[in-house]
Amino acid sequence: MSEMLSPKIEYFADFMHGFYCPGCKWMHHIAIDRPSETNQQWQWDGNVNMPTYSPSVLVNWSRHNIPIVCHSFIQNGQWVFLNDCTHELAGQTVSMVDIPESQL
């Protein structure tokens, strides 16, 4: 079950926040209200429109068997993508985007 905290943040499974990553063009979810199964948990400043999370979000995944690294900070509603990202937004800072309806 999920609900929207704002057009940019999905609240998922009663403890996770989800965002649409414009680098991966895919959803990322992080644990906020309790630790995840891998014992990871992030701090959130409570802002639904211009949120800040810490620490950084590191996602290792693969699409069509191609490994993808996505490493970012989310600060004041901006994605700060670090240089170790494998996607085209590595090293760039871009605004968070509304979650496309197709992802909900």
Query: Is residue 18 involved in binding Zn ion (CB under 5 A)?
Result: no
Least Cβ distance, residue 50 to Zn ion (angstroms): 19
Q: Say how far apart CA 83 and CA 60 lie, in whole Å.
A: 14
Query: Is residue 96 involved in binding Zn ion (CB under 5 A)?
Result: no
Q: Which is nearer to Zn ion, 18 or 23 (CB)?
A: 23
Strand-pairing partners, residue 59, are 70
Indicate the SS3 state at residue 101.
Answer: helix
Q: Which is nearer to Zn ion, 14 or 104 (CB)?
A: 104
Binding mask 49-78 for Zn ion (x = CB under 5 A): ---------------------x--------
Give the torsion sign (CA, 19, 12, 54, 57).
negative
